[in-house]
């Protein structure tokens, strides 16, 4: 296995218009007709936030958490953070990941008009991360050895597309993938007698997939899906 591909894989796993009509909803939204007024969600207003965890990170033993805030008319802003610090010197194993991202999304389509975090979405994101991976004698570390966290950071940015699938009253699963650019330096080292011996420094320049997400999402506050009889 080429362990130089691990940082790339981890970093990848590391971002509605209302219905037209002439009837007014009781909650302030616009409905296609009067008979459907009770099924519409409001166009704007109301605090609504989503808490999430990327299950792909979790599968790689990288605890993570994210938050996404609805700001109106299908737009959201979000941030997430991941941190893992696993090490076993006897087995020459190290799995350290630290980083986060910021993003903006626009939810589109019919589902987005009914619920703030549902349906198709497009967006943009930026990521900053650092890592130290070792399996056996060989290891790879981001950035400058012994430097500050900023000196050891890699970065990525790009555009994303995804779909959020509701599976419960406030629970959904969000699928997303992004393409863009990843950059930054990384160092290759070998361990001998408990010490790391630096071998070479390389610079990563990658155009392609830089994000993969399958997140479990819990929505709080604001307005959820509506059906007959009002809020569910």
What are the structural domain ranges in the chain?
3-231
Token pair belonging to 16: 């509605």
Fold of 3-231: Porin (2.40.160)
d(CA 181, CA 126): 10
**Statement: residue 134 has pLDDT above 50:** yes
Each residue's pLDDT tens digit, 173-232 = 999 999 999 999 888 888 877 777 888 888 889 999 999 999 999 999 865 444 433 444
Model confidence over 67-82: pLDDT tens digits? 999 998 899 999 999 9
- Which residue from 43, 54, 185 is spatially nearest to 112, judged by alpha carbons? 43
**Tokens in use for 56?**
């792909």
Say if CB 50 and CB 219 are below 8 A apart: yes
Tell me the sheet residues that pair with 226: 231
Check: CB of residue 101 under 8 Å from CB of residue 80: yes
Full-model pTM: 0.74
């Amino acid at each position: 296995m080429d362990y130089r591909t691990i940082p790339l894989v981890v970093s990848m796993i590391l971002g509605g218009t209302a219905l037209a009509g002439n009837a007014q909803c009781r909650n302030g939204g616009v409905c296609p007709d009067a008979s459907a007024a009770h099924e519409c969600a409001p166009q704007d207003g109301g605090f609504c936030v989503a808490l999430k965890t990327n299950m792909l990170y979790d599968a790689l033993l990288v605890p993570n958490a994210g938050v996404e805030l609805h700001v109106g008319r299908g737009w959201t802003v979000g941030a997430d953070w991941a941190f893992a610090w696993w090490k076993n010197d006897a087995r020459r194993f190290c799995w350290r990941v630290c980083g986060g991202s910021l993003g903006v999304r626009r939810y589109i389509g019919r589902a987005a008009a009914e619920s703030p975090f549902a349906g198709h979405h497009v967006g943009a994101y930026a990521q900053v991360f650092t890592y130290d991976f070792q399996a056996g004698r060989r290891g790879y570390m981001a950035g400058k050895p012994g430097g500050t966290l900023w000196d050891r950071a890699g970065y990525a940015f790009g555009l994303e597309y995804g779909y959020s699938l509701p599976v419960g009253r406030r629970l959904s699963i969000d699928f997303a993938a992004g393409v863009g650019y990843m950059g930054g330096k990384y160092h290759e080292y070998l361990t001998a007698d408990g010490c790391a011996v630096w071998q070479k420094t390389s610079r990563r320049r990658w155009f392609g997939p830089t994000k993969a997400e399958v997140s479990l999402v819990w929505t709080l506050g604001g307005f959820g899906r509506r059906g007959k009889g009002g809020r569910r």
